[in-house]
Amino acid sequence: MIKMDQIERTRKLVLVEGLSRRQAAKKEGVSRHAVHKALSSAAPPQYRLSGPRPRPVFGEV
């Protein structure tokens, strides 16, 4: 999984310094698909639950 600091550095490499996506991926040590995902969204990824949490069980089980 790509970390937040890697996302920031990758975005800077491609958008500010003008490196290609492939060069940025090689320099950061991540896949080209991860670079594409980092560049596709303007905001960093948010934590989302995959489903609702189960209700707690009180008393005897």
Q: For the chain, give every domain's residue range.
A: 4-40
| CB neighbour list of residue 52: distance below 8 Å, 6 or more residues apart | none
pLDDT digits (tens, 9 = 90+) for 2-49: 888 888 999 999 999 999 999 999 999 999 999 999 899 877 778 888
Whole-number Å distance between alpha carbons of 55 and 41: 34
Is pTM beyond 0.85? Reply is no
User: Quick one: pLDDT at residue 61?
Assistant: 67
Residue position matching structure tokens 């995959």: 50
